[in-house]
Structure 1
Amino acid sequence: MSLDRPVTPDPYNLLPAVPAFSVTSTDVSDGQPLDQAQVHAGGDTSPQLSWSGAPEGTKSYVVTCFDPDAPIVSGFWHWVVCDIPADVTSLDTGAGAGDAKLANGAFHVRNDGGGLNFMGAAPPQGDQVHRYYFVVHAVSEEKLGVDGSASPAVVGFNLAFKTLGRAILTGTYQH
Structure 2
Amino acid sequence: MRSPESTAGVQFALTSPEFPEGGAIPSRYTCDGDDVSPPLEWSGAPESAASLALVIDDPDARGFVHWVVYNIDPSASGGLPAGWSEDAEFQGSNDFGRMGYGGPCPPSGAHRYRFRLLALDTMLDLTGAPTAQRLTDAAAGHVLAEAQLNASYRRAR
TM-score (norm 2): 0.85
CA contact (8 A) 2:29 2:104 kept: yes
Supply the distance in 1 between the matched residues of 2:48 and 2:80 (Cα, whole angstroms).
21
Q: Does 1:166 align with 2:157?
A: no
Among candidates 111, 134, 156, match of residue 94 of structure 2: 111
How many Å separate the matches in 1 of 2:33 and 2:145? Answer: 32
Identity %: 33
- Count of aligned pairs between the two proteins: 148
Partner Cα distance (1:64, 1:174) in 2: 20
Residues 1:137 and 1:68: Cα distance change in structure 2 (over 3 Å): same
* Other structure's SS at 1:172 match: strand
Per the alignment, residue 51 of structure 1 pairs with 42
Is 1:63–1:79's contact at 8 Å kept on the other side of the alignment? Answer: yes
Aligned to 2:111: 130
SS of residue in 2 equivalent to 1:114: coil
Cα deviation per residue 1:3-57 (whole Å; 9 max; x = unaligned)?
xxxxxxxxxxxxx585351122112211011100121221211111111111232
- Give the AA of the match of 2:81: D
Q: Which has the higher helix share?
A: 1
Query: Is the Cα–Cα contact under 8 Å of residues 68 and 76 in structure 1 kept in the other structure?
Result: yes
Per-residue deviation, residues 44-97 of structure 1 (Å, max 9, x unmatched): 111111111112321111122111110x4xx11101111112322500011022
User: Which structure 2 residue ranges, 5 or more long, are not aligned?
Assistant: 5-10
| Alpha-carbon distance in structure 1 between the residues aligned to 2:117 and 2:151 | 14
Give me the TM-score of the superposition, normalised by structure 1. Answer: 0.77
1:85 equivalent in structure 2: 73
Structure 1 segments of 4 or more deviating over 2 A?
16-20
